[in-house]
Structure 1
């Protein structure tokens, strides 16, 4: 090995020693990076509920709108109507109830409060079933004396070893042959009232009823005060997930998040607001560009320098538009009087007739022409031909002085 290779060999040995030192001190470790919910989970608050039901062996599908109910079989099917029903028509409400009467299980959320003055709530499904939704009374308020006998029986806790309800804010659901209830954390702000006493099952908290079940024809209808208990953030709390399985067991499940599809305009506004703003601006600019003008287009001005005559004509046109005919005529008359005062001292102290005679002598024009030129100017607009003749008379008189 020649001496020229010794530095390279020393450098290689140094790098190898440094690499061995690093390897002896490196320690592998695992790090979990939380990326948050997926876009699908953000857009679907009931995605966890779908996965839960599928894990229980149920066949779960989604429906895009109420129109799909026409092709949905009734027997062995549970329809979870969890979407907004503000646009529902009376015909659509009747179709849903007919679907349930043929053997289906319809589950929906009460949306509106009962109006005592009108005698209805405006919720098409609630009003047709005789179910009323009220605001729950405050905790320190006495229960309503008119509560029906079925709900009074439901409010009574079955005999247990404890005399005090340990969870008064939770809804309790008792099953046959079970000594302890299931606990669900419905919101306690609302209360369901079975005005026609049709319900055969219910679930109550200490102050209100949050679940009613009633037979409808050959099918079953379940009414809830709210469905947020099955959203992703709450479904794992208490027995919320178990209630979802219990209400839909032994059937296929169809989830309907929206009673009506969003319009094209709503979808575009939600997903492409910047593009819509750019399109609106482009349309406005296009309309402004092709908009109708007030007159014919003027020819393009020449790049050559304009003459004095053109400047004078432009100035006169500007004064005519801005000040009007009376101002121009009075300006000429004042110029004539100023020249007369210069040539004839004491001119301003003479009477009008004498002034006209002096002007006639100075300009060698007849007095009649002087009178026509110096007559008082009216504020009204005169025809264009008369205006030209009057200006000609005044210019002739001024040039003669």
Structure 2
């Protein structure tokens, strides 16, 4: 190998080494290693329990807490200083469970229930626990404007923070049928109440318009939806956390807090949107592309081409016009007259047996109801028209058809 080639190879190696050294220096100078925390999708109880964050907060505050989907009083007996929070619709409680809960509250327990959702019509059907307390629920038919009832929020104020709207979509209530006055109530007689605490024996029963301020977001497996944050942990707001602490105040740390919730089972469409978007999104794009290819040109719509007409009635009209045009009008009139007389013989044989003026008088008496036909019109209709009298021909044919249809 010549010295020139060796020199060129050495220069190339040096150039590559210099470029690599410069690249490494630029990389180290422009980039730094950092740690980033990414929220993983919630799973297990956190994905199905809307009171999971409240449960963790109570555990952090050294409060004994149990969270389950069913009340199951046989498996989980209640102690006198316990607290039971029914997060779901109270109508899911059986009559025996409702009586057992009220009897337990008389011995010192603290029961927290909500009113049924507002979008359902209750009517006169009783609601467990609430009916026994004498609580009267406000129904959709009790207000003139349902949207005004839905938007009737109340403000929760926290020092140094803006007021948080609460109980916006809950069903309000009255307690004028109750035997005792509540120890605490939130609302007024004009717009009804959103919260009330009743003393029940040695314990308490709290009734709230809704308990959504205690809930947390159960999460989504779709990273796009998690980034957009369509929902959030409502219990994490300071005003809602303070309200939750006041709600649990009577037996706080005195016993076990039982959180009874209904597992949030997502709908089929929500599951498809969140977990199957890798399949339906390409299919949707393919469908839109196919529709684009099959779409007609842009511009004004062209009128539809005239279709061939094969109406039987049009053929009959055309045949009649053709026959009349060639001087066979008397035959058309005679056919209409025979059709009238044939039906007259079936419906009124006596009138059909007459002739001349007696028949005309009898038919005029028969057709005197509105729209009435005079004797002159009937007489003209039964008399053949003169040749080429187009108006008389049309009038007689029309009168014969009218009389035939009215028989």
TM-score, scaled relative to structure 1: 0.47
